[in-house]
A and B are shown apart, each in its own frame.
Chain A
Amino acid sequence: MDKGVMRIVNLGVEVNGKRILQNVNLYIQEGQTLALFGPNGSGKSTLLMAIAGHPNYKIYDGRIIFKGRDITDLPANERVKMGIGVSYQNPPKISGVKLRDIVKHCARIGGTEDKIEEYVKLLKMENLLDRDLNVGFSGGEVKRSELLQLLLMNPEFVMLDEPDSGVDLENVAVIGEAIKILLERDRKDRKKSGIIITHTGQILKYVDADYGVIMYKGRIACMGDPYDILKTVERFGYEECVRKCLRTL
């Protein structure tokens, strides 16, 4: 039986007329988590934004198929309804919009109203609920706010853009805990799948991933065990790692 949840087929994406992604193919099965590595500017966030449905990320080629349905032209909120959730590396600061209102909305979408208190506590967000969204939040607070929203939305397919960047060790542990719940990593019968973008790999000390991929200059360059990839990148750098990969292909 085909257990593919997300299929990215020959995807090409351009932003402001500039081609960022070319010929990207990915296949993610139910219960699988993919770690997406790559240097800055390689196109990792572009891929997430395209899957989430940002109108400025134009798909000039290929298709995105989620749960057997072509969602390439679906508006972002319809994708959310189908079960796609995304957390941002740098979410916007929105004056006048309280985190509490967004949180309530997310809980309604996910049917998790009874979990609000538990998750707020887990992510230590009690004192931030009545603040304007991300206005004056620290790096760790921004990430925790993103994860709180995602936990409540309870998506089937989770996309996390650098949940560990600019976050101190204590916060990474809390965030790791939340991601484990989000992706049901402690459950053998898990259904949830997703993509974690990580530049440093720090988060993988807290959450495991099933396989890893390197994105390099807008293409998928390597695929393999995430920890092997991470070790190779740490030792040789991205360029050398990609060269080694291509040699073994």
Chain B
Amino acid sequence: MSEDSLKEDLKKVGIENDPSKRSASFIMIDDQPKVSFARGVEILSTKEALKRYGWLEEFSWKLVERQEGDFDGYFIRVPRGVKVEFPVEACLYLKRIKSQNVHNIVIVEENAELNLITGCTSERLSGVHYGISEFYVKRNAKLTFTMIHNWKEENEVLPKTGIKVEENGVFINNYILLSPVRYLKSYPTAYLDRNAKAILSSVVVGFENSEIDLGSRVYLNGENSSAEIVSRSISRGGKIVARGHLIGNSENVRGHLECKGMIIKEGVIHAIPELEARNPNVDLSHEAAIGKIAEDEIFYLMTRGLSRDEAVSMLIRGFMEIDVKGLPEVLKREIDKAIELVERALI
């Protein structure tokens, strides 16, 4: 593959490798991690970080069950009080090896802020990607994590993500999957302390022969913690299981789960929203809906001069649009770009 087409592939998942737009850039091709540049944040390969810092053992394989195998990935640490202006980007690229084992650790220290864009993509038509991620959002810190996936038809993708959000911390997660994939299973799980807040949103498209089992789970462990899970699933011949699970374990916690699905032509969407209260003073709710594009809406837009295809495209676009409060403009643009690329493939 030429340099140019690699660059194109990376752009599709939000990877710019441009110091004027990013604070740091990391890429791992197969099992070879590399940091291109970094400022304001510390970024190392996980293996190297574990060698350098004895204390990191306390954070390794703690939020996700330990797995056998040789893992490497990115370690990112934002020092206390540092608010990183430009996003940090990290790319995991499956090129030649059959199976890529990734282990990432991110620590955003007290009062710090980080926007992290992760793009995962593959040159191989087949291959398995195991991605373990452990995120620690310390007191009053904020992490916005945006992951854009662009796999190939025969890839199997099995990420596991655990997030710990301490008092007053904020975690925002955006997951975008807009390409065909053989099989993807992921169920990121967040654990919230007092007053912590998490918003997990996902936009997923299931093409023919794709099987996607995706959810978000939040344990509301601390008083006054709150969570919102928003998911949009579009099936265009694929099978999608859209899960969501809110667990209210403490006083005055709030959680809302919104799960919407749309089937274009054919496919399967199975929505499984779950609410679990273990304290009388919780406020948990959910709404789930699956449908097709409304003919009246298409017609309405056609009477505004749009062709049928343009109208359908605008409606699909609108369906995928989720307003994430507190999402930085630069990330919103990345997501919009990714959605634009898939629009045409859907009609």
If A54-B299, A55-B295 touch, whether A96 touches B319 (CB-CB below 8 Å) is yes
User: Is A106's CB within 8 Å of the partner chain B?
Assistant: yes
CB contact list, A29-58 vs B, under 8 A: 52-56
Partner of B305, one of A81, A94, A95, A97: A81
- A77 and B318 form a contact (CB under 8 A): no
User: Is B5's CB within 8 Å of the partner chain A?
Assistant: no
Cα–Cα, bound, A152→B317 (Å): 23
Q: Which residues of B contact A153 (CB under 8 A)?
A: 304-305
Partner of B304, one of A75, A95, A109: A109
Cα–Cα, bound, A86→B303 (Å): 7
User: Is B68's CB within 8 Å of the partner chain A?
Assistant: no
- A97 and B318 form a contact (CB under 8 A): yes
Q: Which of B296, B299, B301, B321 has the most CB of A within 10 A?
A: B299
If A96-B318, A97-B318 touch, whether A106 touches B304 (CB-CB below 8 Å) is yes
Which residues does B use to contact A, with CB under 8 Å?
Answer: 294-297, 299-308, 314-315, 317-322
User: Is A167's CB within 8 Å of the partner chain B?
Assistant: no
In the complex, the chain B residue whose C-beta lies closest to that of A54 is B299
Partner of B300, one of A92, A106, A132: A92
Q: Whole-angstrom distance from the CB of A152 to the nearest CB of chain B?
A: 10
* Contacts A/B (CB < 8 Å), 27 sampled: A53-B303, A56-B295, A75-B302, A75-B308, A76-B302, A77-B308, A80-B303, A80-B305, A81-B305, A88-B300, A92-B294, A94-B297, A94-B318, A95-B318, A96-B317, A96-B318, A96-B321, A97-B314, A97-B315, A97-B318, A97-B321, A101-B314, A105-B304, A106-B304, A109-B304, A149-B304, A153-B305
In the complex, the chain B residue whose C-beta lies closest to that of A80 is B305
- A106 and B305 form a contact (CB under 8 A): yes
In the complex, the chain B residue whose C-beta lies closest to that of A77 is B302
User: Is A102's CB within 8 Å of the partner chain B?
Assistant: yes
- A94 and B304 form a contact (CB under 8 A): no
Kindly count the residue-residue contacts between A and B in the assembled complex, taking CB atoms under 8 Å apart. 64
Q: Which residues of A contact B320 (CB under 8 A)?
A: 96
User: Is A68's CB within 8 Å of the partner chain B?
Assistant: no
Which residues does A use to contact B, with CB under 8 Å?
Answer: 52-56, 75-77, 80-81, 85-86, 88, 91-92, 94-97, 101-102, 105-106, 109, 132, 149, 153
Q: Which residues of B contact A97 (CB under 8 A)?
A: 314-315, 317-318, 321
Q: Which residues of B contact A109 (CB under 8 A)?
A: 304-305
- B318 and A52 form a contact (CB under 8 A): no
Q: Whole-angstrom distance from the CB of B311 to the nearest CB of chain A?
A: 8
- B305 and A55 form a contact (CB under 8 A): no
